[in-house]
Amino acid sequence: MSGPVLTRTVAELRSELTRLVAERDAHSVGLVPTMGALHQGHAALMRAARADAPVVCASLFVNPLQFESPLDLELYPRDLDADMALFGSEGVDLVFAPEVEEMYPSYPDSPIVRVSSGHMGQILEGASRPGHFDGVATVVSKLFNIFDPEGPARLRAYFGQKDAQQLMIVRRLVADLDFPVTIVPVPTQREESGLAMSSRNLLLTESHRQAATALSEALFALRDRAAAGEDWNLAALRRQVRDADEVILDYLEVVDPGTLLPTSRTPALALIAAYVGGVRLIDNIEIPGP
């Protein structure tokens, strides 16, 4: 079985995409945007795309604009061969893995025009990672333009619910800037321990992996308390996470899923972020309505 076609430039990608869409008379194109370091969470995105779209594409680009720390950018795990193998085994047809200069010709200077994620990009993750969501909004806008299939085919893009704030901002981006793209959310994949799958888990030692389960445990406890009609007792849950060895809690909040502002009503979204062994991890869970 031949693997996915690997393209490095926008011109190559567009020409291969046009060829595949015509060859398959495709009504839609599925896009899975990634930064590589692929895991089963990404595989779930690819499977969702495969189930919907006759042509499945993925991007692999570690976007410097969304890293606020040069060290974090440098340490981000990279393994093209392993990523290409996973793309291949999940039936991805076309991969776009550009060099940084292809995406940002003025690099290391920032592009002059960037996309703002507004106030939604400045709270929660955005408060600790200034500029992060503007970087995401900028690269995702570029990817939507680059992958825009010519003719009647429509672009569908798959995003994990694990990055809940990113998903909300991408949805706003599409609505506010009229991108002709359908956003498809895909549920978070978890390890048996409850730990949400993430590329950053590769940076955890075994003992940090154990410690990191404090995040999902707090979220599950919150959801169960809400389901039982009990007081959420956020303060006690925050204490429980703070008391866990090797875990430095940044935030544990319950927010309105539409605005990301704190709420005491359901349906709601509980969001958590913490450093475990120096690695920033995030997770979230839906708290259903009554």
Q: Does residue 33 bind ligand PAF (CB under 6 A)? A: yes
Stretch binding ligand PAF (CB under 6 A), from 19-27, 76-84, 134-142, 237-245 = 134-142
Q: By rule CB under 6 A, what string of x and - marks binding of each residue 136-155 to ligand PAF? A: x--xx---------------
Complex with ligand PAF: residue 104 or 232, whichever CB lies closer: 104
Complex with ligand PAF: residue 16 or 163, whichever CB lies closer: 163
| Closest separation in Å from C-beta 230 to ligand PAF | 34
| Closest separation in Å from C-beta 157 to ligand PAF | 9
Q: Which 3 state secondary structure label does DSSP give 28?
A: strand
Q: Which 3 state secondary structure label does DSSP give 96?
A: strand
Complex with ligand PAF: residue 7 or 34, whichever CB lies closer: 34
Could you say which of 13, 26, 31, 34 contacts ligand PAF (CB under 6 A)?
A: 34
Distances from the Cα of 136 to the Cα of 42, 139, 219, angstroms: 17, 5, 25
| Closest separation in Å from C-beta 84 to ligand PAF | 16
Query: Would you say 200 and 279 are in contact if contact means Cβ atoms under 8 Å apart?
Result: yes
The vertex-86 CA angle with 190 and 193, nearest 5°, equals 15
Q: Does residue 181 bind ligand PAF (CB under 6 A)? A: no
| Closest separation in Å from C-beta 32 to ligand PAF | 9
**Among the options 39, 42, 132, 208, which is catalytic?**
42
Distances from the Cα of 235 to the Cα of 66, 90, 127, 176, angstroms: 31, 42, 20, 36
| Closest separation in Å from C-beta 34 to ligand PAF | 5
Q: Nearest to residue 160, comparing CAs of 38, 73, 251?
A: 38
| Closest separation in Å from C-beta 41 to ligand PAF | 10
- Give all strands of the β-sheet with 181-186 in edge-to-edge order: 5-7, 94-96, 55-60, 28-34, 154-160, 181-186
Give CA–CA dist 50/29, Å, rounded: 10
Backbone φ and ψ of 73, nearest 5°: -65, -45
Give CA–CA dist 87/218, Å, rounded: 33
Stretch binding ligand PAF (CB under 6 A), from 33-41, 101-109, 185-193, 242-250 = 33-41
Distances from the Cα of 149 to the Cα of 10, 52, 136, 241, 256, angstroms: 13, 16, 21, 46, 35
Q: Is 27 a catalytic residue?
A: no
Query: Would you say 8 and 102 are in contact if contact means Cβ atoms under 8 Å apart?
Result: yes
Q: Does residue 201 bind ligand PAF (CB under 6 A)? A: no
Q: Does residue 63 bind ligand PAF (CB under 6 A)? A: yes
Could you say which of 16, 125, 163, 283 contacts ligand PAF (CB under 6 A)?
A: 163
Q: Would you please indicate which residues are annotated as catalytic (active-site) residues?
A: 42
Residue ranges that bind ligand PAF, judged by CB under 6 A: 33-35, 63, 66, 136, 139-140, 163, 166
